[in-house]
Amino acid sequence: MKLLFDQGTPAPLRNLLPEHSVDTLADKGWSDKDNGELLDLAEREGYDVLVTTDQNLRHQQNLADRQIGVVVLLATAWSEVRLRASEISQAIASVRPGEIVEVPIRVE
């Protein structure tokens, strides 16, 4: 799958998802784009999933007619995210276009 990591998504996560093609907003030069424009660009470029830490995205964007799925990580700390790589991978595999899947990250 072709994945796009939003700004808050820890970039080292890409190394734990070798079965996917991963770009970051910085890679694409899209760091200054707002969510609506970002989703438009991502769809045009053929991304399957946006991986983000923006928990407000579901309230800011109507994804119903989108061709991209969104996986929201509920933490940004790499020390926590890296321990949930399996759950993140499962969320990426299961998310459908126009859908948001949240991944709890907190390590107890």
Kindly state the DSSP code that residue 26 receives in the 8-state scheme: H
Q: How many domains does the chain have?
A: 1
Give the domain range for residue 23: 2-103
Q: Is the pLDDT of residue 62 over 90?
A: no
Measured between alpha carbons, how far is 38 from 50 in angstroms, rounded to an integer? 10
| pLDDT (tens digit per residue) in 2-34 | 999 999 999 999 999 999 999 999 999 999 999
34 within domain boundaries = yes
Paired with 70 in beta bridges are 50, 100
Backbone conformation region of residue 54, classed left if phi is above 0, alpha if psi is from -120 to 50, else beta: beta
| pLDDT (tens digit per residue) in 27-41 | 999 999 998 999 999
Q: What is the pTM of this model?
A: 0.94
> What's the chain's length in residues?
108
Helix, strand, coil percentages, rounded to 5, for the chain: 40, 20, 45
Q: Residue 70 belongs to a domain with what CATH number? A: 3.40.50
21 within domain boundaries = yes
- DSSP element (H, E) containing 51: strand 49-52
108 within domain boundaries = no
11 within domain boundaries = yes
